[in-house]
Chains A and B, each alone.
Chain A
Amino acid sequence: GQNIDQPTEMTATEGAIVQINCTYQTSGFNGLFWYQQHAGEAPTFLSYNVLDGLEEKGRFSSFLSRSKGYSYLLLKELQMKDSASYLCAVRDSNYQLIWGAGTKLIIKP
C-alpha cells in the first residue's frame, strides 16, 4: 500500500530552527508537496520538490531524496505564527496526491 509518515507533533522555541521529516512509500513519484494548515483554516501551499536537492524559499526550505523516499521541511527563525500543522503529500504515478497525517508544530516563547 501507499504510505506517508511524518511525526505527529513537534515542539520548538521561537527564533530557533526546526526540521520536519517525511518518508514515503508510493506507487510512483511525480513530486512532493508541503502545505501549512493553521487550526480551523485551509491548507496553504508551501513548497514543491520533484528533483533531488534543496529548495529554499525565505525562512522555509524543503529537501528531497528520491532514492531514500525522504523529504524534510526546514523552518528557520521560528515565529509564533509558524505554529500550525504541516502536511506532506506525494503525487503518485496516477498523479493523485497521497497525504500524510500532518505534523503539529508548537512554538514556545
Chain B
Amino acid sequence: ETGVTQTPRHLVMGMTNKKSLKCEQHLGHNAMYWYKQSAKKPLELMFVYNFKEQTENNSVPSRFSPECPNSSHLFLHLHTLQPEDSALYLCASSQEGLADSYEQYFGPGTRLTVT
C-alpha cells in the first residue's frame, strides 16, 4: 500500500465509449500526476497538477481529459479512444516544495484495453 488508490484496476472499453479513471491519494500531497505505461517503453508523463492547477500537458490527445477537483482526487476522462491507447495508466502524487527528493508515490494503475 503506497497511500495512492486507483479505480478501476481493469477496464475494457470500446472506441465509442466514455469512461473515467479515478485516483485518490491519502498522503496529504500537493501534486498529482497521470502517466501512461506501455510495454517496454518509458513511463510517459501525461498531466501534472500542482495545488490543483494543471501545470503540464505533454501534447496529450484531447480524447484524454483530466480533472482535479481537490488536492486528493484526480480523474482521467476517456472518450473515443483508439486501440493504441491500451496501456497501464498510473497515478502518482508527491509533496512539492518541502523536501529535496520529491519522490513520487504511485498507485497500482488501471489496465486499460480498448477494443
Contacts and interface: CB of A to CB of B under 8 A. Distances in A.
Interface stretch (B13-21, B35-43, B65-73, B76-84): B35-43
A42 B108 contact: yes
Contacts of A41: 108
A33 B103 contact: yes
A97 interface: yes
A42 B90 contact: yes
A43 B2 CA distance: 9
Contacts of B103: 33, 45, 48
Interface residues of B, number: 20
A87 interface: yes
B45 A96 contact: yes
Given A42-B90, A42-B107, A91 B102 contact: yes
A48 B107 CA distance: 20
Interface of B: 2, 4, 40-43, 45, 48, 56, 90, 100-109
Closest 5 pairs (CB-CB, A-B): A42-B106, A99-B43, A99-B42, A48-B101, A45-B103
